[in-house]
Structure 1
C-alpha cells in the first residue's frame, strides 16, 4: 500500500461565475483528497498575460496515495468538467487547477514538473497556501511555504 502524501493544489478562475466554479471545484477535490483544507479565495490581477478579467485564487491541501501523474489527470478532468479549454497559454479560464506539491516528491517529466516550477514567485499561489499550510516544505529549496511567501512578498514590494 502506498503512503499518504500531502498534496497542495492551487485554484483559479477568471471567467463566468468564478466563486461558484471554485466552490464546485472544491467539492470535486474533496472526492479526490482526504482531509481537505481550503483557503479563503482572494481576488488577484492577472500576471504575465494579456489584459483579462481579475482572478479569484485559492488553494487546497489534502492527503492522497495516488501517484502524481494520476493526480494531474484527475485535475485536468475536473477542469474539463467546468468548461476549461486551452486555446492559448495564458488565456482566461473558467477553472485552473495546478498541482503544486506532492509530498516531498521531485518529478521532471515532459507533462509534469513537481514542485510546480513557478509557484515560488507567485503570490496568488503562496498567499492562500501560507494561510492553510505554512509549514509545508518545498523539497527543492527546503523552505517552508511561510518563508517562500515572505520572500516573494518582499520582492514584490520593491
Structure 2
C-alpha cells in the first residue's frame, strides 16, 4: 500500500530530527521509504514557537493505516514528543496524510488528513515527490503561506 507521511519539527535540532525521522520511518516493519522531499522551512500555522522544518516521505507499507499510525506515534515518543497543549511546539510531528485510497473519519484517524489541503508546508513537499496528488488549485489556495525550500 502506498502511503504519505508529513514530517515536522520546531524544537531542538529540528533539521536533524526531520532527517532522522525519514530514516526511522524506513525501519518500520513491512515498510520501505520510496521517495523523500527536500526539507522546507515554514512559520508555524495554528501553532507556536520557532519556524518548522518540514518534509514529506512516500512509503510502501504492508501495515494497516491504524497499525502504521501507531508506529509513527512510537517514533514521535522516541523523539521526545510531548503534548502539553494543542499545537504546542514539538520535537517531532508525524502525520499520516494518505494510506492508499482509504477514506476514514474516526476519533483516532482521519484519511486523507483533513487539513493537508490548507497547509503549504504539506502540499509543497508532497507536490515535489507526488505531483499527481496535489491539484494546482490546492497549491494556489496556499500560495500566501510563507515556505522556503532549504538548499544545501
Structure 1-normalised TM-score? 0.85
Aligned-residue RMSD, C-alpha: 1.5
Task: Quote the residue 1:45 is aligned against.
Answer: 43
1:49 positional shift: 2.5
- For 2:35, what is the secondary structure of its paired residue? strand
> In the alignment, is the contact (CA less than 8 A) between 1:9 and 1:97 conserved in 2?
yes
1:30 positional shift: 1.2
CA offset digits 1:109-154 (Å, max 9, x no partner): 1111000110011100000000001113xxxxxxxx1435433235
Structure 2-normalised TM-score? 0.88
Distance in structure 2 (CA, Å) of the matches to 1:8 and 1:73: 15
Higher relative contact order (CA 8 A, sep 6+): 2
Aligned length: 143
Runs of 4+ in 1 over 2 A off after TM superposition: 146-154
Task: Quote the residue 2:82 is aligned against.
Answer: 85
Distance in structure 1 (CA, Å) of the matches to 2:15 and 2:33: 22
- For 1:151, what is the secondary structure of its paired residue? helix
Query: Unpaired segments of 5 or more residues in structure 2?
Result: 146-152
